[in-house]
Chains A and B, each alone.
Chain A
Amino acid sequence: MKRRNFVQSVALSSIGAPLVLKNFKFGAVTEDLFKSSKSAGDRVLVIIRMNGGNDGLSTLVPLDQYANLTVQRSNILIPENQLLTITPTNALHPSMSGMRDMFNNERLSIIQNVGYPEQNRSHFRSMDIWTSGMLDPNATRGWLGRYLDQQFPNFPDDYPDTQNPDPFAISMGYEVSATCQGLAANFSVAVNNPFDSYNLVETGQVNDGTYYGSHMEYLSTLIMQANAYGAQVNAAANAGSSLSTMYDPADDVSKNLKYIAQMISGGLKTKIYIVNVNGFDTHDGQVVSGAPTTGAHANLLSRISTAVAAFQNDLSLLGLEHRVAGMTFSEFGRQIASNASDGTDHGDAAPLFLFGSCINTGIIGPNPVISNTVVDQAGVPMQIDFRDVYASILKDWFEADPTEIQGMFEQTVNFIPVLSSCNLGVEENFKESDVLIFPNPCVDQTTLKFKCSGEKVTVRVYDTSGTLVSEVCSKEFQPGEHLVPISMDGHPSGNYIVTVHKNSGTFTKKFIKLKTI
């Protein structure tokens, strides 16, 4: 395949003079340097792993199911009046004010009910499935490792080289990330503190063809890479800056995202950063007994929400917003019914967050339906396959070729527009913050939200070939916000476009109709 050139023209570390750069007021110049860059080549993906299985129903609460949630999980359920409402039918956990603000500022989107068929409730197996992006138990490579293998064959032997002096991926802390496991080695470099310097002894080892020899070769390659990559990371961290005051200095998630902002702003060309957050396996003490807004889960969500909001703020101040997108993932959600230990056991699907200025805003996917009776071991059914999310990120964000993406996954992938709003040639207009379609994807019914100033508004639905599917309405509306139901009953599943014609212009949104499960 054609090797994609990750754009290097604006990466300051290639100037290679960290002492000079140290006195450079970085925040002032990045605006012009980076804001114009629209290509996928210099885009960065930040992944936050919520390790242990995040309780989605406490993270994004389906308000229309609240009555039944009281039947299922009264001991951990957060009072409705304390939740942070973000749409008429959805609310965030009260400790997530940072991410609530991001949602309102169109910097956060949420995909609901993400999982895979035949959920495996083992932490280990399910995490392997999520990191590999494969259900095949023999898969050993990570989903990003497969992508990077395509881009950079012969890793690690041929790298770093002059075209690629920086680590392809960085995993914050002391562990590499299984998402980046490639054919011969892991593409991620573990960086605990980018300000550390490296000067390891380089020696030649001979591979004698045994496991031992293979380790010798691995370790000597690692030493050379650690020196080379370590110097690059160190120079970038020293050259970079961080401008946000919203980080929590006492918290590791904040600290790591701040390091990442510093490395990106210092010109590091690393494509992928991974931050790991442990502690989501909340079998007990998920909430403090009798005080469900507090406890282990509230603390975890608060740490992530604060850190992500600070990071987004930092990127904005550094003029880097258009280059960076983020996502969260967890190996599974938790069961609908709580247990007697003020906790929840391993479940199935859960919501996943995307953040950045290029995301397609809103909530993708309908609210889960919660039964009014407790069913043993019931979890939230999967509606969107996580592999579709991965594939869509590769397509929208790294602009990888759809055919090649399909080749990386075992099932037929459905592309969902998740991060396409910064791409050129997209027939949507996302600048109009007053137009929102939810749920998206939908099943038979979705709702359009828009604002207008006492005028005639026409709403139409088209398919992707431009054929009119239905005219939803065409009439005078009062000034203010309106909710218009759109029925998709009887139409085939697939991609659709809704247009809202007002005096101020025509606004369009893509949405998806799902197959009925």
Chain B
Amino acid sequence: MIPEENVQEPISLSLTPYTGSWTKAEAAHLLRRTMFGPTFNQITQAVSNGMNATVAQLLTPVSVSPPLAFHPDEAVTATGSTWINDVYPASPGPTNNARLFSLGAWFMQRINQPNVSIQEKMCLFWDNHFGVDGTNEAKAVYGMHEKYRLNYLGNFKQLVKDMTIDPMMLLFLNGATNNPFSPNENYARELLELFTVGKGPQVGPGDYSNYTEADVAAGAKILTGWTVTDLYSTTASQPTNVFYPILHDTSSKTLSPYFGSTVIPDAGNLEYANYIDVIFSQPDMAKYLCRKIYRWFVNYDLTPSVESTVIADMASTLSSNNFEVQPVIEQLLKSEHFYDISVRGSIIKNPLELLFSMLNASGSVPGYTVPVNYEIYLNLYYLSQVMGMEYLRAPSVGGWTAYYQTPAFSRLWANSSLLKLRFDLGSYMTITPGIVVNGNPFKLNALNLVNNLSLPSSAPQVIDDILTVFTCKGVSVIEKAILKSILTNGQPDFEWTIQYNDYLADPGNTTVSTPVRQRIEFVLYRLFQLPESQVI
């Protein structure tokens, strides 16, 4: 294996707009990093639209409909209607579980959309950033997620303020039980360590080079007074935060020299926002989030040269735009560095990217009744859970280890145990009936995939197009020949052409469609067991 230090350095470390060639390789790179598995059509469309128009499309908001009731345990909301403003019954347990199931399924449905949009990648980014375990009152969980969703390219400082007093966050990191008599430091610590300035090297006792233990203690006092009301309410539509002045520590809190030894005087229910303003005025504040954005969209390896160029430039964009996120994302996605050949294929797919690259790229969307669709999506949720990624249930407040654990990073998604599961998933989505709910099957849609390729009747072209969709740099000549011989069942190429044209002439006839579907499924079954299909 090559030691990391011998890996090829990027040719460009610049954020200046990319002007190089714009082919399927570059367009697919952009879409793979910002979506969960583009289709062949989306890739070719992006080629013809060009980089600027494609990035603009990715950044355009898409409308979203809320999660729907589907589960038999839901006691208030009618099936097919949304529960997000509905009260709870007197015994809320089963209904709440039904709503959490609905929410988990809904996350999967959101990702399983045909839109050219960065929205879902950004929502998952914020989920990873704040690391909340969303096993709680479902409306509180949804309410928090909505903050990510409404603000996914918005103002980071405002998002941190909103999250600080969000009911779900107050519950998750014990802000709701933090009081002056017995401070609970949980949120105050993570606010600095994981959400804003980030932890630097420890340079002295309790001194983390950009904040100190004393700041954690002061922060806990600043944030006292907030608690949560109307959880599981039978009358109120939403759980809400509430500020009790009597539970607020009214003393003046002095921050460390890292925050200019600022004194935060008592300001009641506005004090938290004043504190966050002070945090965000720290000169290097923007860098921490920019590193996370970089690792999410570009590459795990923050080399000293990447730090001093790309990260510094991104941070300057983020802070000069008063922490608006969209400008820095837009700049990054249009930059020379983003398209540098050295960073292509440098991320091993996370479980959701793996799962939905199969489904989305084949345009596979379940089209049954709401309860059946939601059951199918719940199954997809469980599949990603088994492979190590539960949406809204990150393993810790730091998010998933693949985004911070040196030196392995995204390789943590594919150790020997998980790799077997990932390959099993490939089999499940291709050569088995897939998920079956009440007799309604759901898996990768092989016929839809092949029908939308550039020249489906040509065996070599089918393989080339499939490799465009599912791999970053293709496969070896030998492997390509193997895949083509699987497609043609070892026959000359024209046999595939005949088979495909027979199917086109009579698409409703399973006698001619089944062989076409199966050959594609066998090709993908093999492809999904190749390392080349594991990265984006």
Q: A157-B1, A211-B299, A340-B181 are in contact. Are A140 and B414 (CB under 8 A)?
A: no
Whether a CB of chain A sits under 8 angstroms from the CB of B405 is yes
Find out whether the CB atom of B7 lies under 8 angstroms from the CB atom of A210. yes
Q: What are 8 A-B pairs with beta-carbon distances under 8 A?
A: A118-B206, A140-B406, A185-B1, A186-B415, A215-B531, A229-B416, A340-B182, A377-B216
Contacts of A205 on B, CB cut-off 8 Å? 476, 531-532
Find out whether the CB atom of A339 lies under 8 angstroms from the CB atom of B182. yes
Whether a CB of chain B sits under 8 angstroms from the CB of A207 is yes
Q: A125 — nearest CB in chain B belongs to which residue?
A: B199
Find out whether the CB atom of A176 lies under 8 angstroms from the CB atom of B412. yes
Contacts of B415 on A, CB cut-off 8 Å? 174-176, 186, 189-190, 222
A137 CB contact (under 8 Å) in B177, B202, B213, B473: B202
> In the complex the two chains form, what is the Cα distance from A225 to B189 in whole Å?
41
> In the complex the two chains form, what is the Cα distance from A208 to B529 in whole Å?
20
A120 CB contact (under 8 Å) in B183, B202, B395: B202
> In the complex the two chains form, what is the Cα distance from A210 to B4 in whole Å?
9
Q: A341 — nearest CB in chain B belongs to which residue?
A: B177
Q: B4 — nearest CB in chain A belongs to which residue?
A: A214
> In the complex the two chains form, what is the Cα distance from A213 to B6 in whole Å?
12
> In the complex the two chains form, what is the Cα distance from A242 to B341 in whole Å?
53
Find out whether the CB atom of A123 lies under 8 angstroms from the CB atom of B396. yes
Find out whether the CB atom of A184 lies under 8 angstroms from the CB atom of B3. yes
Given A184-B1, A217-B1, A341-B174, 20 more pairs with CB closer than 8 A: A118-B202, A120-B208, A121-B216, A122-B189, A174-B418, A174-B421, A175-B412, A189-B417, A192-B417, A201-B529, A209-B2, A210-B342, A211-B345, A212-B473, A219-B531, A221-B1, A222-B415, A222-B419, A339-B178, A345-B186
A225 CB contact (under 8 Å) in B182, B217, B416, B423: B416
Find out whether the CB atom of A339 lies under 8 angstroms from the CB atom of B531. no
Find out whether the CB atom of B184 lies under 8 angstroms from the CB atom of A284. yes
Find out whether the CB atom of B342 lies under 8 angstroms from the CB atom of A125. no
Q: How far is the CB of B154 from chain A (nearest CB, A)?
A: 27
Contacts of B535 on A, CB cut-off 8 Å? 212, 215-216
Q: A211-B345, A212-B535 are in contact. Are A174 and B8 (CB under 8 A)?
A: no
Whether a CB of chain B sits under 8 angstroms from the CB of A178 is yes
Contacts of A200 on B, CB cut-off 8 Å? 419-420, 423, 529
Q: A121-B189, A212-B535 are in contact. Are A218 and B174 (CB under 8 A)?
A: no
Contacts of A178 on B, CB cut-off 8 Å? 405
Find out whether the CB atom of A196 lies under 8 angstroms from the CB atom of B420. yes
Q: A156-B1, A185-B1 are in contact. Are A124 and B398 (CB under 8 A)?
A: yes
Contacts of B189 on A, CB cut-off 8 Å? 121-122, 346
Contacts of A94 on B, CB cut-off 8 Å? none
Whether a CB of chain A sits under 8 angstroms from the CB of B205 is yes
Whether a CB of chain A sits under 8 angstroms from the CB of B526 is yes
Whether a CB of chain B sits under 8 angstroms from the CB of A460 is no
Tally the A-B contacts, defined by beta carbons under 8 Å: 187
Whether a CB of chain B sits under 8 angstroms from the CB of A316 is no
Contacts of B181 on A, CB cut-off 8 Å? 340
Q: How far is the CB of A338 from chain B (nearest CB, A)?
A: 7
Contacts of A174 on B, CB cut-off 8 Å? 388, 415, 417-418, 421
Contacts of A152 on B, CB cut-off 8 Å? none
Q: How far is the CB of A209 from chain B (nearest CB, A)?
A: 5
Q: A202 — nearest CB in chain B belongs to which residue?
A: B529
Find out whether the CB atom of B348 lies under 8 angstroms from the CB atom of A339. no
Contacts of B401 on A, CB cut-off 8 Å? 175
Q: A284 — nearest CB in chain B belongs to which residue?
A: B174
Whether a CB of chain B sits under 8 angstroms from the CB of A226 is yes
Whether a CB of chain B sits under 8 angstroms from the CB of A183 is yes
Whether a CB of chain B sits under 8 angstroms from the CB of A241 is no
Whether a CB of chain B sits under 8 angstroms from the CB of A161 is no
Q: B343 — nearest CB in chain A belongs to which residue?
A: A211
Q: A190-B417, A341-B174 are in contact. Are A207 and B531 (CB under 8 A)?
A: no
Contacts of B473 on A, CB cut-off 8 Å? 208, 212
B531 CB contact (under 8 Å) in A196, A220, A284: A220
> In the complex the two chains form, what is the Cα distance from A471 to B42 in whole Å?
87
B177 CB contact (under 8 Å) in A121, A207, A339: A339
Whether a CB of chain B sits under 8 angstroms from the CB of A223 is yes
> In the complex the two chains form, what is the Cα distance from A284 to B173 in whole Å?
9
Whether a CB of chain B sits under 8 angstroms from the CB of A275 is no
Find out whether the CB atom of B8 lies under 8 angstroms from the CB atom of A210. yes
Q: How far is the CB of B128 from chain A (nearest CB, A)?
A: 14
> In the complex the two chains form, what is the Cα distance from A190 to B419 in whole Å?
10
Contacts of A119 on B, CB cut-off 8 Å? 206
Whether a CB of chain A sits under 8 angstroms from the CB of B441 is no
Whether a CB of chain B sits under 8 angstroms from the CB of A489 is no
> In the complex the two chains form, what is the Cα distance from A119 to B216 in whole Å?
14
Contact bitstring B143-162, A, C-beta under 8 A = 1, else 0: 00000000000000000000
Q: How many residues of A contact B (CB 8 A)?
A: 68
Find out whether the CB atom of B345 lies under 8 angstroms from the CB atom of A284. no
> In the complex the two chains form, what is the Cα distance from A183 to B407 in whole Å?
9
Find out whether the CB atom of A219 lies under 8 angstroms from the CB atom of B534. yes
> In the complex the two chains form, what is the Cα distance from A516 to B400 in whole Å?
42
Whether a CB of chain A sits under 8 angstroms from the CB of B185 is yes
Q: How far is the CB of A480 from chain B (nearest CB, A)?
A: 46
Find out whether the CB atom of B419 lies under 8 angstroms from the CB atom of A338. no
Find out whether the CB atom of A215 lies under 8 angstroms from the CB atom of B529. no
Find out whether the CB atom of A118 lies under 8 angstroms from the CB atom of B204. yes
Whether a CB of chain A sits under 8 angstroms from the CB of B244 is no
Q: A205-B532, A219-B531 are in contact. Are A198 and B420 (CB under 8 A)?
A: yes
Contacts of B3 on A, CB cut-off 8 Å? 183-184
A216 CB contact (under 8 Å) in B186, B397, B532: B532
- B1-55 residues at the A interface, CB under 8 angstroms: 1-4, 6-8
> In the complex the two chains form, what is the Cα distance from A137 to B406 in whole Å?
11
Q: A198-B420, A203-B479 are in contact. Are A340 and B388 (CB under 8 A)?
A: no
Instruction: Please name the 3 residue pairs, one residue from A and one from B, whose CB atoms are nearest each other, closest first.
Output: A212-B345, A219-B531, A340-B182
Whether a CB of chain B sits under 8 angstroms from the CB of A283 is yes
> In the complex the two chains form, what is the Cα distance from A185 to B412 in whole Å?
11
Find out whether the CB atom of B346 lies under 8 angstroms from the CB atom of A210. yes
Find out whether the CB atom of B416 lies under 8 angstroms from the CB atom of A339. no
Q: A181-B407, A210-B345, A226-B420 are in contact. Are A338 and B182 (CB under 8 A)?
A: yes
Find out whether the CB atom of B396 lies under 8 angstroms from the CB atom of A340. no
Contact bitstring A111-151, B, C-beta under 8 A = 1, else 0: 00000001111111100000000000100100000000000
Contacts of B7 on A, CB cut-off 8 Å? 209-211, 214
Whether a CB of chain A sits under 8 angstroms from the CB of B530 is yes
Whether a CB of chain B sits under 8 angstroms from the CB of A356 is no
Find out whether the CB atom of B419 lies under 8 angstroms from the CB atom of A223. yes
Find out whether the CB atom of A226 lies under 8 angstroms from the CB atom of B419. yes
Q: A230 — nearest CB in chain B belongs to which residue?
A: B416
Contact bitstring B495-536, A, C-beta under 8 A = 1, else 0: 000000000000000000000000000000010011110110
B2 CB contact (under 8 Å) in A137, A207, A219: A207
> In the complex the two chains form, what is the Cα distance from A414 to B407 in whole Å?
29
Q: B192 — nearest CB in chain A belongs to which residue?
A: A122
Q: B344 — nearest CB in chain A belongs to which residue?
A: A212
Whether a CB of chain A sits under 8 angstroms from the CB of B179 is yes
Find out whether the CB atom of B2 lies under 8 angstroms from the CB atom of A345. no
Contacts of B534 on A, CB cut-off 8 Å? 215, 219
Q: A118-B205, A205-B532, A341-B174 are in contact. Are A213 and B2 (CB under 8 A)?
A: yes
Whether a CB of chain B sits under 8 angstroms from the CB of A354 is no
Whether a CB of chain B sits under 8 angstroms from the CB of A425 is no
Find out whether the CB atom of A204 lies under 8 angstroms from the CB atom of B476. yes
Q: B346 — nearest CB in chain A belongs to which residue?
A: A211
Q: A344 — nearest CB in chain B belongs to which residue?
A: B184
Find out whether the CB atom of B411 lies under 8 angstroms from the CB atom of A215. yes
B472 CB contact (under 8 Å) in A191, A212, A221: A212
Whether a CB of chain B sits under 8 angstroms from the CB of A426 is no
Contacts of B529 on A, CB cut-off 8 Å? 200-201
Find out whether the CB atom of B201 lies under 8 angstroms from the CB atom of A191. no
Contacts of B330 on A, CB cut-off 8 Å? none
> In the complex the two chains form, what is the Cα distance from A447 to B216 in whole Å?
41
> In the complex the two chains form, what is the Cα distance from A376 to B416 in whole Å?
45
Whether a CB of chain B sits under 8 angstroms from the CB of A424 is no
Q: How far is the CB of B519 from chain A (nearest CB, A)?
A: 18
